[in-house]
């Protein structure tokens, strides 16, 4: 395990050197965290495509998601969907699907304080028998809050729950992160996530801490490409160590 973590650390260092060597000053990166949701809706006329992949160091299990975010008439309202696929316990296939609505209640991407509550409908497109989905329709509520602490430090907080009423199951989440704006096109993140699942008289909790980096490539057309990598590890409860790969494309559509 130590050897694998050392290898991951070397890969992070290599990405860091590459980013610092190749990225001049440009517009600041925002709304590109991996595990903690930032409270910034899409600007009018701009769409974002987000790919997320995580792989467990202990075995062959992995999770992949694709999210597409669209403004609905402006920055105040945002619609999005999330598609999932995964491998779990030797079963591979599609997971559940999320349909999301988010309201920019306070601030925006340029404000010192932003609040953007989200409501999501979880559709059972993954097989519960194969361990790929919940097997029931669910609802999720999440409250993301983002604040600018200094010119080079931003913090984000999340709190919410996911509920499956027909199965008597629920999951609670509380998360927090710090983002160091080392350069306008290079950031360092430390994310922490607590989750608790409950149902059928049983409960399970865990805490994950995830250090990572992200950087951007900005094109004259308005396209911004943001790759990222992180190495989350479990500090409490069941779990282990894994790697996160992130890639976002954001561009005007009119």
**How high is the pLDDT of residue 36?**
98
Judge if pTM exceeds 0.85.
yes
Calpha distance 114→38 (Å, rounded):
9
Largest Cα separation within the chain, whole Å, is: 56
**How high is the pLDDT of residue 4?**
39
Question: What are the residue ranges of helices labelled H in 119-194?
Answer: none
Q: Write out pLDDT tens, residues 201-213.
A: 899 999 999 999 9
Query: Rounded to whole angstroms, what are the CA distances from 177 to 34, 93, 105, 118, 254?
Result: 10, 31, 20, 18, 33
Nearest residue to 97 via CA among 81, 108, 86, 110: 81
**How high is the pLDDT of residue 27?**
56
**How high is the pLDDT of residue 246?**
98
**How high is the pLDDT of residue 25?**
35
Residues of the chain with pLDDT under 70: 1-27
Calpha distance 226→245 (Å, rounded):
11
In the chain, the domains with their CATH numbers are 2-252 (2.40.160.40)
**How high is the pLDDT of residue 10?**
45
Determine the 3-state secondary structure of 100 from DSSP.
strand
**How high is the pLDDT of residue 18?**
40
Contacts of 118 (CB under 8 A, 6+ apart): 37, 100, 101, 102, 103, 140, 141, 142, 143, 144, 160
């Amino acid at each position: 395990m130590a050897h694998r973590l050392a290898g991951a650390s070397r890969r992070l260092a290599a990405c860091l050197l590459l980013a610092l060597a190749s990225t001049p000053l440009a517009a600041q990166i925002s709304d590109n965290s991996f595990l903690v949701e930032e409270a910034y809706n899409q600007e009018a006329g701009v769409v974002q495509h987000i790919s997320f992949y995580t792989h467990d160091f202990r075995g062959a299990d992995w999770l992949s998601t694709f999210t597409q975010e669209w403004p609905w008439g402006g920055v105040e309202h945002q619609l999005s969907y999330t598609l999932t696929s995964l491998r779990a316990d030797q079963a591979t296939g599609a997971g559940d699907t999320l349909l999301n609505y988010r309201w920019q209640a306070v601030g925006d991407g340029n404000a010192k304080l932003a609040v953007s509550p989200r409501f999501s409908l979880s559709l059972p497109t993954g097989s519960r028998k194969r361990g790929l989905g919940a097997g029931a329709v669910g609802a999720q509520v999440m409250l993301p809050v983002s604040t600018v602490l200094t010119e080079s430090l931003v913090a984000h907080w999340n709190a919410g729950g996911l509920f499956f009423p027909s199965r008597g199951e629920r999951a609670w989440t509380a998360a927090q992160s710090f983002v160091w704006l080392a350069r306008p096109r290079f950031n360092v993140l430390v994310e922490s996530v607590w989750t608790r699942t409950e149902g059928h008289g049983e409960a399970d909790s865990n805490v994950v801490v995830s250090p990572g980096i992200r950087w951007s490539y900005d094109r004259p057309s308005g396209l911004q490409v943001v790759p990222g990598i992180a190495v989350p590890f479990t500090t409490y409860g069941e779990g282990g160590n894994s790697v996160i790969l992130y890639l976002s494309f954001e561009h005007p559509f009119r």
